[in-house]
A and B are shown apart, each in its own frame.
Chain A
Amino acid sequence: MSAEPILTIRGLNVDYGTGTSGVRALRDIDLTLHRGEVLGLAGESGSGKSTLAYAVTRLLSPPGVITGGDVHYHRPGGETLDILALSADELRAFRWQELSIVFQGAMNSLNPVHTVHSQLTDVLVAHRPGMRAAERTERAKELLNLVGISADRLAAYPHQLSGGMRQRVMIAMALALEPEIVIMDEPTTALDVVMQRQILRKLVELREQLSFSVVFITHDISLLIEFSDRIAIMYGGRIVEQAGAADIYRDPRHPYSEGLLHSFPALHGPRRELTGIPGSPPHLSAMPTGCAFHPRCGKAFEPCAGRIPVLTRPDAAQEREVACWLPAPPA
């Protein structure tokens, strides 16, 4: 895998609300997506995964505001786009063409009053002005085939499709313009386990064919172990650990990562004991001091409650980064 970055996020901060009623949902996020990789983003519900997805695509709706940081997109040619500085027109052109999203609420992601055909082709109308209607229909059929849906479903309305089919239509839609990056925000959470794995396998297959980069968001880390190259773990609006999927699985360094791994049954390999994590995630308005995880951490020690551990490499030889005092206690 090349280590060429395609999306770099630096020092990203996002608040919900302003002034005294504002709360910080993302804190100093540093994250890099490399060309062609599947980056998994895991963390309990409320840790800020969706907020991160919305922020990098500038889809945050009020009261969400980006209060600091940079997001850069690196075109295959070498050109770099400052996403947070794009004008409305530039942003429209960038969206879906270079980065598409499958949303968390994918069950309601389709407009109930328009056909699948209309919703697959309107994106072509917007981004491929030269394309003729017949070509667009051809492309829409092709896309449905890609995700294993027969072309006669083009005329269907969303309510006539099963949940799994709607999900696959959304994936087909995300691939319509062959974007460089696809963000998938819990794309399979609402589906049963069999359907989830079927769709994920399809996705991996498609990525091999079309070679796009994926940010795969889920609260179920066991899915990521199997399907992603690298994993970033979020807690309380921060990234607390990121490393290769195998490294995280074999040797999680952050106590929270370890806790997450013990919260879901592994799909393959030796069984682990399911212990879960005691306590519940913090509220944004009452974020613990120091390491936000310290009230729940079994390994918390003297510096944890008072000082915030920053994301650093405990081992210079490894690409792994951890935000925890354990590997390198403060002097």
Chain B
Amino acid sequence: MKYVLQRLAFYAVTAWAAITINFLIPRLMPGDPVEALMSRYQGQLDTSAIASLKALFGLDENKSLWAQYTDYWSHLLDGDLGLSFTFFPTPVGEVISQALPWTLALVGITTLISFLLGTGIGVYSGWRRGSWLDGLLPVTTFISSVPYFWLGLIAISVFAVKWPLFPFEGGYDNSLVPAFDWPFISSALYHGVLPGVTIVLSAIAGWILGMRNMMVTVSSEDYVMVAQAKGLSERRVMFAYAARNAVLPSISAFALSLGFIVSGTLLVEMVFNYPGIGFQLLQAVGAKDYPLMQGVFLVITLSVLAANLLADMAYAFLDPRTRKEA
């Protein structure tokens, strides 16, 4: 319990620092980005957008830095991240909350699938070295060494263009109205197949190799030999003794990889024009949509932190050695 509180405190401080840096960066940018933007939009920006921009870049000269900082926090706590330029006057928070579920669903589910599948294969191939599963390794390793960009394009050209089995872009059929009904959900699933399968293919080798190596290492531990000598069932030796110990590094790697869902999704969403947060970030960068960029960065930072926290908690739960004595 003390351990959990310690970690929570640590992450609270880190989050505070990250948010503060997020607040400071636009203020440290040289030049006057607001003037530049205003001239670019040539009067198309209305006063509330300009106010929002000035607040963002700290050009609100009537206020001290400290007052700006407290304002920033109170807006943040209200979920107010300013207004997006590209989707003016939609608030950044709204833009993000529309894109985020797509990314979380696509990359989250596929990350989970590749972790579970890869770790499972790794357990068996590490336990029964020399079985047919070992033949899978060079194949998956080769696929994972292909840059994702190419893998995606190859998948599109084969399964969407040459044999049009799957749509080549988008997250759902545009003629449908997003809703929680079967036509929409099935369309979303259908659109998710190609990006999903390519993500799993490119990620799975890492999980297999990591788990297999750990299984091999752990299999020569004394306690595994003891478990064999005790005449326990093979299942028990393999799972409760070998895999249970071997999986620890994979679990923390998995928790960390959850943090990169949001940031690592850029390529996938570019290749498939997928309406997620990475695609949004890409557009924001192209349009110099600073409020949106800042919002996306904040989400990325917080999700990496949350994933780290999760990794710590999972480790403490699974490895009694990290739990401090009460």
A→B interface (CB under 8 Å): 57, 59, 61, 91-97, 100-101, 103, 105-106, 108-114, 122-123, 126-127, 157, 159-160, 170, 173
Nearest chain A CB to B128 CB, angstrom units: 13
B321 interface contact, C-beta 8 A: yes
Nearest chain A CB to B210 CB, angstrom units: 18
Among B222, B232, B248, B320, contact of A103 (Cβ-Cβ < 8 Å): B222
Cα separation A106 to B221 with both chains bound (whole Å): 11
B230–A57 contact, CB under 8 A?
Answer: no
B240 interface contact, C-beta 8 A: yes
Cα separation A126 to B240 with both chains bound (whole Å): 13
6 contacting pairs across A/B (C-beta < 8 A): A100-B230, A106-B222, A111-B223, A112-B319, A122-B236, A173-B230
B231–A109 contact, CB under 8 A?
Answer: no
Report chain A residues within 8 Å CB of B220: 61
Among A106, A126, A159, contact of B236 (Cβ-Cβ < 8 Å): A126
Contact with A along B25-45 (1 / 0, CB 8 A): 000000000000000000000
Report chain A residues within 8 Å CB of B221: 108
Nearest chain A CB to B240 CB, angstrom units: 7
Cα separation A302 to B244 with both chains bound (whole Å): 59
Across the interface, name the chain B residue whose C-beta is closest to A53. Answer: B229
Cα separation A59 to B267 with both chains bound (whole Å): 50
Report chain A residues within 8 Å CB of B321: 112, 157, 159
A123-B232 contact given A59-B225, A111-B245, CB 8 Å threshold? yes
A105–B222 contact, CB under 8 A?
Answer: yes
A113-B230 contact given A103-B225, A108-B221, CB 8 Å threshold? no
Which parts of B234-255 form the interface with A (CB within 8 Å)? 236, 240-241, 244-245, 248
Cα separation A329 to B263 with both chains bound (whole Å): 82
Nearest chain B CB to A154 CB, angstrom units: 14
Report chain B residues within 8 Å CB of A100: 229-230
B46 interface contact, C-beta 8 A: no
Cα separation A101 to B225 with both chains bound (whole Å): 10
B240–A93 contact, CB under 8 A?
Answer: no
- 5 closest A-B pairs by beta carbon, nearest first, are A95-B231, A105-B222, A157-B320, A108-B222, A92-B231
A110–B223 contact, CB under 8 A?
Answer: yes
Report chain B residues within 8 Å CB of A173: 230
B225–A94 contact, CB under 8 A?
Answer: no
B244–A113 contact, CB under 8 A?
Answer: yes
Nearest chain A CB to B235 CB, angstrom units: 11
Nearest chain B CB to A78 CB, angstrom units: 23
B231–A103 contact, CB under 8 A?
Answer: no
B320–A122 contact, CB under 8 A?
Answer: no
Among B227, B236, B240, B245, contact of A112 (Cβ-Cβ < 8 Å): B245
User: On chain B, which size bracket covers the interface?
Assistant: 20 to 34
- 6 new A-B contacts, CB < 8 A, other than A61-B220, A61-B225, are A59-B228, A59-B229, A109-B223, A113-B244, A113-B320, A122-B236
Among A61, A96, A110, A114, contact of B231 (Cβ-Cβ < 8 Å): A96
Across the interface, name the chain A residue whose C-beta is closest to B242. Answer: A111
Report chain B residues within 8 Å CB of A110: 223, 226
A112-B223 contact given A122-B240, A157-B320, A159-B320, CB 8 Å threshold? yes
Report chain A residues within 8 Å CB of B320: 112-113, 157, 159
B230–A126 contact, CB under 8 A?
Answer: yes
Nearest chain A CB to B215 CB, angstrom units: 14
B240–A114 contact, CB under 8 A?
Answer: yes
A96–B230 contact, CB under 8 A?
Answer: yes
A95–B229 contact, CB under 8 A?
Answer: yes
Cα separation A122 to B236 with both chains bound (whole Å): 9
Report chain A residues within 8 Å CB of B225: 59, 61, 103
Report chain B residues within 8 Å CB of A112: 223, 245, 319-321
B244–A92 contact, CB under 8 A?
Answer: no
A123-B231 contact given A112-B321, A113-B245, A159-B321, CB 8 Å threshold? yes
Nearest chain B CB to A24 CB, angstrom units: 22
B325 interface contact, C-beta 8 A: yes
Report chain A residues within 8 Å CB of B62: none
Cα separation A95 to B234 with both chains bound (whole Å): 13
B270 interface contact, C-beta 8 A: no
Report chain B residues within 8 Å CB of A160: 325
B233 interface contact, C-beta 8 A: yes
B229–A101 contact, CB under 8 A?
Answer: yes
Report chain B residues within 8 Å CB of A57: 229
Across the interface, name the chain B residue whose C-beta is closest to A170. Answer: B226
